[in-house]
Structure 1
Amino acid sequence: MLTTASVPDRDRVTYWNDAVNRTLVPMTVTPRGDGPFDARLVTNRLGYLQVSTMEADAERVSRTPALIARSSEALVAVGVQVSGTATFIQDGRRAEVGEGDLVVCDRSRPYSFDYPQRFATHVFQLPRHTLGVPDSDIRQVTGHAIGTRDGFGSVLLPFLATLASSTETYPRAVADRLAGNVVDLFATLITERAHPGDADGDTARSPLLLRVREHINRNLADPDLSPESIAKAHRISIRYLHRLFENEGTTVGRLIQKRRLEECCRELARRGRTAPTVSAVAQRWGFANPAHFSRSFRAAYGVSPREWRSLRTAPGDVGRSPVGAPVPSVTVADSSPAGRPLSGG
């Protein structure tokens, strides 16, 4: 905790500017009153997420291009107005922020906050790349006050208030996963506000869910790809990972197997003088056990991998499937481990 309480009156403004600059990002803080300035800043970390609570007398905060140039990392902050009011300006927009409102602030672009009286605010600061949302979406939500009386904001506000007020110290693994969950909530908030009319389609999906699906497609050839490894890579719990797929009509494990089988089908159907063996194809797409691959393939398509290859590569039979064996349709375009584009089925 950093506080001006024990600092001589004449040095408090300088002390506070230095405290804010070192703890958050370089910015200029100018008190609005004439009397002794009083402020304090409490900061904790959850992995890469920094959680701070600031309480101060009336002041004006500004971040100029010159100050931005002193920063080495692109950061985004989500603020929760606990008490008092503020005028927030960024990207040519002006927002009047009241108690309970949320704001999204892009630290890499100029902005200002004007607090006309004593205030308190929670600040959640994170690397911008962890959000996994386009810069255009972030730009659409800056300079706005996001109400929390209804919608997603009403769910998010009490959770953030509790998190900011907690003094508990978490083990690193727990802190990283908790940070990942919080950042996903922020990404969902930004996506919802940037695309308010999208009820369906990828823009309504959780950005984290989209990143998980992309991760699966990039790592199909890894035999160790599993719900456990995916959760670890995205710093979330396995339980939370499974919750992401509750409305997807499948589980994480089934999606991995489905995508692997689709790529095996595609490769087995290719013609060529030096076609790889069935076991080589299975191994290439992450099936470590040939017997398990054969059983899974037959269960999905009604024929063995060898029968599939024979029927798909026989002269005059290109494109034909055996009775009862549907041609696998690939719903997610991606690239193979070797970098070859994957064409449609």
Structure 2
Amino acid sequence: MNARVLTLAASRGRRTVYSLTGVEGARRLSANVEVTPADPQRFRARLLSVPLDTVAYEELSAAAFSMTSASTQELVRFIEVQGGVLHFDDPDRPPLRPGEMTAVDTGAPFRLRASEAVRLATLVVPRAALRLPAVLPGDRFLAPITSPLRAAWSSLVRSLGVSAPDDGTRDAEILAHAIIGLTRGLLTPDALPEEEPAAAVVRRARAIIERDYADPSLGPSAIARAVGVSERRLHRLFRTEDLTVAQSIASDVPRRRSIGS
């Protein structure tokens, strides 16, 4: 299920609210990011999770805590402060106040902290879907809304907390694709955010199959996340070659074993 990019795995197609308390509540938050409360015993948090195809939306209200990277998945988190103040571990970077944003790469080290209660809205996107350079140009998101494109992006993302199509539907896939396109346009404004050619996606998927064929957890869902497309689109692309994703994996295993012997 593509909703695995969520901090907490929500049921497919559901907008889910979690009330989290104490040490156990902080532990449940620490999946793709590690959350350390300033006062573990008195920690209180409310998390709204919205799965939407290859992307996910979260709203977090919590007491004082620090947040560090804890993910092996290559995800980008776009964090907007809605209330309170969020500080960087780097003293040269000014804190984020309501209406300001940052983009963090969960595969790279980072540390954010809130010394008081804070409200955050977060969009989680697979890094591969954005086709970004090696260094994430996150500074483009630090300022408040300054352009029509950023305003459109913010309006679309914020609406997910109120109303979003059920995950797994065609509407969810279209909306996720639109969000990824807008995000890519903001991060790389000189490049038109077009959909990656089908042949290139299939090539990258086949490379992952050849590299990880011995991994028992390798399957269509894992491959789709790695190449940054929905599982539905991945199946559709492989069908154009008269071969399903599962058949491609199955046919590659004996071939690789014969080469190894």
The TM-score range, normalised by the shorter chain, is 0.5 to 0.7
Find the counterpart in structure 2 of residue 74 from structure 1. 74
8 Å CA contact 2:100–2:142 kept in 1: the answer is yes
Matched, 1:190 2:184: no
Native 8 Å contact 2:37 2:63 kept in 1: no
Q: Distance in 1 between matches of 2:41 and 2:73?
A: 36
Per-residue CA deviations over 1:204-257 (Å, capped at 9, x if unaligned) read 232326x35986xx9xxxxxxxxxxxxxx977xxxxxxxxxxxxxxxxxxxxxx
C-alpha displacement of 1:95: 3.9
% identity of equivalent residues: 16
| Rg larger for | 1
Is 1:43 aligned to residue 49 of structure 2? yes
Q: Is the 8 A contact 1:2 1:42 kept in 2?
A: yes
Q: 1:110 to 1:134 in 2, by over 3 A?
A: same
Counterparts of residues 1-345 of structure 1 (less than 5 Å): 1-4=17-20, 7=21, 12=22, 14-22=23-31, 25-31=32-38, 36-63=42-69, 67=70, 71-89=71-89, 94-136=93-135, 138=136, 140-141=137-138, 145-166=142-163, 168-192=165-189, 204-208=190-194, 211-212=196-197
SS of residue paired to 1:164: coil
* Whole-angstrom CA distance in 2 between matches of 1:171 and 1:109: 30
Give unpaired runs (5+ residues) of structure 2.
1-16, 204-227, 231-261
Q: Aligned AA for 1:190?
A: L
* SS at structure 1 position matched to 2:194: helix
Cα deviation, residue 18, structure 1? 1.6
What letter matches 1:29 in structure 2?
T
Count of equivalent residues: 189
Deviation at 1:40, TM superposition (A): 1.2
Deviation at 1:35, TM superposition (A): 7.8
Structure of higher RCO (CA pairs closer than 8 Å, 6+ residues apart): 2
More strand by share: 2
Q: Any conservation in 2 of the 1:48–1:127 contact (CA below 8 Å)?
A: yes
Please give the TM-score of this superposition, normalised by the length of structure 1.
Answer: 0.48
Q: Deviations over 1:10-37 (max 9, x none)?
A: xx1x222222123xx0414222x59822
Query: 2:53–2:172: 8 Å Cα contact kept in structure 1?
Result: yes
Q: Kindly report the root-mean-square deviation, in angstroms, between the aligned alpha carbons of the 2 structures.
A: 3.1
Q: Compared with structure 1, are the counterparts of its residues 57 and 187 closer, same or farther at alpha carbon in structure 2 (3 Å cutoff)?
A: same
Do 2:103 and 2:138's aligned partners in 1 also have CA atoms closer than 8 Å? yes
Instruction: Tell me if structure 2 keeps the 8 A contact 1:106–1:142.
Output: no
Shift of 1:146: 3.0
Q: CA offset at residue 76 of structure 1?
A: 0.8
Letter in 2 for 1:132: R
Contact 1:95 1:144 (C-alpha < 8 Å) held by counterparts = no
Q: Contact 2:182–2:193 at 8 Å: present in 1 too?
A: no
3-state SS, counterpart of residue 165 of structure 1: coil
Taking the aligned partners of 1:111 and 1:234, their CA distance within structure 2 comes to 26
SS in 2 for 1:178: helix
Structure 1 residues 2 and 213: CA distance shift in structure 2, 3 A = closer
Q: 1:145 deviation in Å?
A: 1.6
Offset from partner CA, 1:81-108 (integer Å, 9 cap, x none): 2212211347x96242111122111001
